[in-house]
Structure 1
């Protein structure tokens, strides 16, 4: 039976960062993963170019039952640290928008960086190596398809339930519950909304059209694009809102963010009193969207004939359009899993469990969920580095 200082279950972003950090500190490290290759979610992220961090990452861009938990790890391994690593490996990158950093070439550059760092630390990485049994003791013991191994420190970096076709499983969450750790109920996040059939019937032929909106949900607001789909609403604004949405709650959209509709109508009707509202709205919204809103929710009259009641209704439907999603598309298309292992069970400095010495949980399996735009990868790097420095 082979013994290691550290065994990490999960060869994703957090697991490989942890392995490289620990290996370069002189620890003997083994990484095992049931998949046939490492970093699958990295490879498909960002449209294949990996949005590997964000220039503006900070605690305010994360959701957790404890909003302070991630501060320690994020402060000790910042976006600037990972950017420096990317530059040291000569990987070209660019800022897309709002601080989002992407590889110029392919996401495999980031996987290559992580594997190179692991090689520098003498880390062993074994794929096609599912864990069939696990005992948390001193030492910890795992049984795998390639045999049994023991270790002094065991790190769970198995991710969440999102995108099961990439090999995602509930292994880490199930393990935590089996060990008596509290796991907060999970659900899909950063995921498109589905709409009730009646509402979808009014909007379905808008599929593929994008609109700049401000989305408000659960006390949070995001000014980005919304995309009509055959099943409901997607796009960055909707994905962000999904992290704060709870089943049965409503989402509110401002379809004309930054525009004073009443002032715009008043100014236009002085010169164009016979202009219909839908044609005026067509200057600020995709024409098909303007037509659809006027067909179902907004009075379409010549501007000169719009009453005070008409204007109030138009403002309500365009600045505060509220709907109740029927649900989301679920883990199949979700970018992340919301909630997970309760942070009260872990040290914020090391990610070690308080009840089981030498056992660590890092990355997506923990109740820390970032906003869209590279923040979740930064949590993977930061939490992996925190545990890798401690094991």
Structure 2
């Protein structure tokens, strides 16, 4: 059987791969879109609680982690959140803005996948879903991709198979394997946007499973103000997921449980409500179970009037920089994304093409560009996918 020829072969039908395919296809390129899953966009479908947090209007390169923090600027300048919103609007998909610039479908994430597939059909994209890639080679200016025993050739190959996050959905390190095969450097990968686990010495907090409160989390000079959630394993919620992408193993994080309060709030509380119990002062500002746990750790009992200002100030400081020492994270199984990946040093920031391997591109989560929680990683997928799709 003779090999099929395409202008571009795209491995991975997630957000970035679909965008690259529809972009190249609509430019008149003959495109083959391949995925071992039986349907496209599986991670899109589960995102945002099933409503897909498809972009963030505050997208900027400084909200991404990379060895080269400037790398993403070019792609973002040429494909903005407004550009993707325009596509969403053309397809009549209703959406709304939640907090912090996050945009969600009013209905289902399925609408985003259907939209992208409709755009791919408009571009005449050929699909090979539910089929496994056995070999990828390069010779005489062409990539040869063997899928279920049949060879497919093309001058351009786009790696869009994502990272290692959520392996139960089929995530693998395939993109990294292929990148290394062709001599591209891969930055050490790790789980990102992932819950923390706590050890036995902090089991008291694990007993608060289900309790959530607004906090500021700190690690080094990085801080996020969002909700934190206690789990039976440790710490989760947006504030913890955000800081996890920066966290380094065996280092502490700090939590401000009183972000609304001034520096001397407990002393002022003593002046204004001297007969109030210390625990009740906490409970007016925090969930009761959390207030009890923090109060127990601080070791202060009774009425505020019976406490020294110095002790109250010490408690204020502890509540503003409460140290937690995670013993790890819940790993790739619970990580929303993979940090690290194909090094940006190996890629052209305008085309996502490998500088030393003609026709090879890497996009989306496969690349060492990791965004904050809240639609930022989807915008990177759209922007990097568009850049590669315009280049092949």
Whether the TM-score (by the shorter chain) exceeds 0.5 is yes
User: Any idea what the Cα deviations from partners look like across 1:346-389, whole Å, max 9, x if unmatched?
Assistant: 00000000110100000000000000000000000000000000
Question: Please, which of 9, 12, 28 is the counterpart of residue 10 of structure 1?
Answer: 12
In structure 1, how many angstroms separate the alpha carbons of the residues matched to 2:27 and 2:211? 51
User: Any idea what the Cα deviations from partners look like across 1:99-133, whole Å, max 9, x if unmatched?
Assistant: 10001110000000100000000001110111100
Q: Which residue of 2 aligns with 1:297?
A: 298
In structure 2, how many angstroms separate the alpha carbons of the residues matched to 1:386 and 1:12? 16
Q: Which residue of 2 aligns with 1:251?
A: 253
1:129 and 1:146 in contact (8 A); partners too: no
Question: Please, which of 144, 165, 169 is the counterpart of residue 141 of structure 1?
Answer: 144
In structure 2, how many angstroms separate the alpha carbons of the residues matched to 1:90 and 1:300? 59
From the superposition, tell whether residues 218 and 31 of structure 1 become closer, same or farther in structure 2 (CA, over 3 Å).
farther
2:225 equivalent to 1:223: yes
- Which 4+ residue blocks in structure 1 deviate beyond 3 angstroms? none
Q: Give 1:261 deviation, angstroms.
A: 5.2
TM-score in terms of structure 1 length: 0.97
Aligned residues: 389
RMSD: 1.1
In structure 2, how many angstroms separate the alpha carbons of the residues matched to 1:271 and 1:124? 71
Structure 1 residues 334-349: aligned runs within 5 Å: 334-349=335-350
Q: Which residue of 2 aligns with 1:375?
A: 376
Q: Which residue of 1 aligns with 2:87?
A: 85
2:56 and 2:379 in contact (8 A); partners too: yes
Q: Which residue of 2 aligns with 1:69?
A: 71
In structure 2, how many angstroms separate the alpha carbons of the residues matched to 1:107 and 1:174? 30
User: Any idea what the Cα deviations from partners look like across 1:160-208, whole Å, max 9, x if unmatched?
Assistant: 0000111100000111122221111101000000001120x21122110
In structure 2, how many angstroms separate the alpha carbons of the residues matched to 1:100 and 1:368? 19
Q: Which residue of 1 aligns with 2:160?
A: 157
Q: Give 1:146 deviation, angstroms.
A: 5.4
Report the secondary structure of 2:232's partner residue: coil
2:339 and 2:370 in contact (8 A); partners too: yes
Question: Please, which of 165, 174, 177 is the counterpart of residue 177 of structure 2?
Answer: 174
2:65 and 2:370 in contact (8 A); partners too: yes
User: Any idea what the Cα deviations from partners look like across 1:135-161, whole Å, max 9, x if unmatched?
Assistant: 023111011115110001110000000
In structure 1, how many angstroms separate the alpha carbons of the residues matched to 2:284 and 2:371? 35
In structure 2, how many angstroms separate the alpha carbons of the residues matched to 1:385 and 1:306? 62
Q: Which stretch of structure 1 is more off in the superposition, 172-181 or 221-230?
A: 172-181
2:61 equivalent to 1:59: yes
In structure 1, how many angstroms separate the alpha carbons of the residues matched to 2:149 and 2:90? 35
2:198 and 2:206 in contact (8 A); partners too: no
2:81 equivalent to 1:110: no
Q: Give 1:269 deviation, angstroms.
A: 2.4
In structure 2, how many angstroms separate the alpha carbons of the residues matched to 1:360 and 1:368? 14
User: Any idea what the Cα deviations from partners look like across 1:2-27, whole Å, max 9, x if unmatched?
Assistant: 00001000000000100000000000
Q: Which residue of 2 aligns with 1:208?
A: 210
Structure 1 residue runs of 5 or longer lacking an equivalent are none
2:159 and 2:362 in contact (8 A); partners too: yes
